Amino acid sequence: MSKSNPRLELSKEEMKSLGYKIVDAIVDHHLTQDKKLPVAVGTRAEMDSIFLEEAPEKGMDAQKVLEFVLKNVMANSTLLSHPKAYSFVPGPSNYVSVMADALATGFNVFSGGWSASPAAAELEIITIQWLLKIFGFPKKKGGGIFTSGGSMANLTALTTARNIKCGKDFSKAVIYLSDQAHSSNIKAIRVIGFREEQVRIIPTDSEFNFPINKLKNAIAKDRLAGLQPFCLIGTAGTTNTGTVDPLTELAAICKKEDIWFHIDGAYGGAAILAPKGKTALKGIEKADSVTIDPHKWLYQPYEMGCLLVRNHKHLSHTFTEKPEYLRDVEGNTSEINFYDLGIQLTRRFRALKFYMSIKTYGLQSFRDAIAYNMDLAEQLEEQMRKSSLWEIVHPATLAIINFRYNPIGKNYSAKKLDKLNQYISEKVVSSQKALLVTTILNNQIVLRMCLINPRTTLADVQETLELCEAFAAEADK
């Protein structure tokens, strides 16, 4: 396209052939990704050597641009949907939702207000209601909103908690969370303007359990000092170990103390769909707000987070503004304008992918996938316990397991074990054959697997462990 194209249009033929090629590329990727290398490595200099240029004044053929992108962009991106992507919280995704995203973007549906797109707002209402029921929240009174991810859901929750419990003056307010709570909570606390001395980080015990007694002491001391305990963040599935805080007990404390109880279930919340997970998450239904993150263990592609609240009015009271330019689109109260329930005005249509994937596969498929993931982690634990090479540092919890290479009889020093496990991780990652990084638990460097991909098999995991063992043997020489 060497001429200017000021309407930014392609011909019908060009559109179709570009579109079909993209669909072909996505389908091909879905069919073959398990055989690809999951890890992409590249330095800034290497990426610059491929991409660095001035914004081109003149266009070029769309097919050529696509070819370049497929070859250079996609091939240089780590595949968080790969069965051997074990680190952080992977994003297994699913094809139906990918197509739903393409549809939502293709029609550029504005998912901010009812009058702009009643069906999009309705689908968000309906899917939020599905989630409210799944999490045992009141169906009529409860509410929620889809966000870009868990971080934004936590930010939305803490802003709401502050507004409802403190109003305009939060100078004496104090917030509590454990040292295993996700870093996005600390970020959110900072964003909404709390000073460091208003935050109590409660240290967990050596098994990463939330110490109720320490929390009670902290609240009591803060009250004596004339401060206002206003919010507790519990975690339903910590990112490090999958540990679920004692939700029922924490809820009772919050009720007694008139404290907002926010539960961060961004990683673990989805486990509620499986029988074992439901037991582990008992008490989650007692929260004032819960963050879940469908782009993790509900298998949605990025971006999709979600905040559920016990009382939908708490969101609208916190986020509704009535500017003159939105006067004509307000509508009535049952016709929800999601821009009144959160931070964004213009919002992409996230509900569609959740809706289409649940409609297509059925909720039972999601339940089975999540149960499978939890079982896989347990099977791996059982196997590792029988091995003379591996030590379980934290048992399979939800679908996370922490372990380290520590062969019986070698009596390695703590320092040597740290070095060895760090080395294993670095070698595995640089081999590009698996994404397996470390975390630190009780000052020890350990390996961590988050097994939420329903396409990961025990054989995949075994292959990865064998790779680790080979690197370990090499380091020992």
Ligand X SMILES: *Cc1c(COP(=O)(O)O)cnc(C)c1O
Q: List residues near ligand X by CB under 6 A.
A: 89, 149-151, 154, 182, 184, 235, 239, 264, 266-267, 293, 305
CB of 267 to ligand X, least distance (A): 3
CB of 180 to ligand X, least distance (A): 9
CB of 207 to ligand X, least distance (A): 18
From 338, 381, 373, 476, select the one nearest 419 (Cα to Cα): 476
CB of 348 to ligand X, least distance (A): 15
CB of 375 to ligand X, least distance (A): 21
* Residue closer to ligand X, measured from CB, 61 or 207: 207
Pairing of strands 438-441, 289-292: unpaired
* Residue closer to ligand X, measured from CB, 239 or 397: 239
Q: Residue 253's beta-bridge partner residues?
A: none
- Which two structure tokens, joined as six digits, stand for 421? 């496990």
The H or E element spanning position 395 is strand 390-397
* Residue closer to ligand X, measured from CB, 157 or 219: 157
* Residue closer to ligand X, measured from CB, 264 or 288: 264
* Residue closer to ligand X, measured from CB, 153 or 445: 153
* Residue closer to ligand X, measured from CB, 245 or 293: 293
Pairing of strands 173-178, 305-309: unpaired
CB-based contact 415:437 (threshold 8 Å): no
Residue with tokens 């053929």: 61
From 222, 137, 239, select the one nearest 185 (Cα to Cα): 239
CB-based contact 165:231 (threshold 8 Å): yes
Residue 307 DSSP label:
E
**Encoded amino acid at 317, one letter:** H
CB of 295 to ligand X, least distance (A): 6
Cβ density class 101-116: b for 16+ within 10 Å, e for less: beebeeeebebbbbee
CB of 462 to ligand X, least distance (A): 26
CB of 16 to ligand X, least distance (A): 35
* Measured CA distances, 471 to 423, 427, 453 (Å): 8, 7, 25
* Measured CA distances, 76 to 36, 38, 79, 98, 139 (Å): 12, 10, 9, 20, 44
Contacts 24+ apart (CB under 8 A), 383-389: 383/458, 383/462, 384/465, 389/469, 389/472
- The SS3 assignment for 304 reads coil
* Residue closer to ligand X, measured from CB, 149 or 395: 149
* Residue closer to ligand X, measured from CB, 261 or 390: 261
* Residue closer to ligand X, measured from CB, 238 or 316: 238
Give the CB-nearest residue to ligand X: 150
* Residue closer to ligand X, measured from CB, 187 or 416: 187
- Which two structure tokens, joined as six digits, stand for 28? 């091909």
* Residue closer to ligand X, measured from CB, 308 or 467: 308
How many Å from the N-terminal Cα to the C-terminal Cα in the chain? 59
CB of 436 to ligand X, least distance (A): 18
CB of 187 to ligand X, least distance (A): 9
* Residue closer to ligand X, measured from CB, 194 or 267: 267
Residues 6+ apart with CB under 8 A from 94: 299, 300, 301, 357, 361
- Would residue 95 be called left, alpha or beta, if left means φ above 0 and alpha means ψ between -120 and 50 degrees? alpha
Residues 6+ apart with CB under 8 A from 140: none
CB of 190 to ligand X, least distance (A): 15
Q: What is the CA angle 41-42-44, rounded to 5?
A: 150
- The SS3 assignment for 223 reads helix
Distance CA(97)–CA(360), nearest Å, equals 10
CB of 4 to ligand X, least distance (A): 40
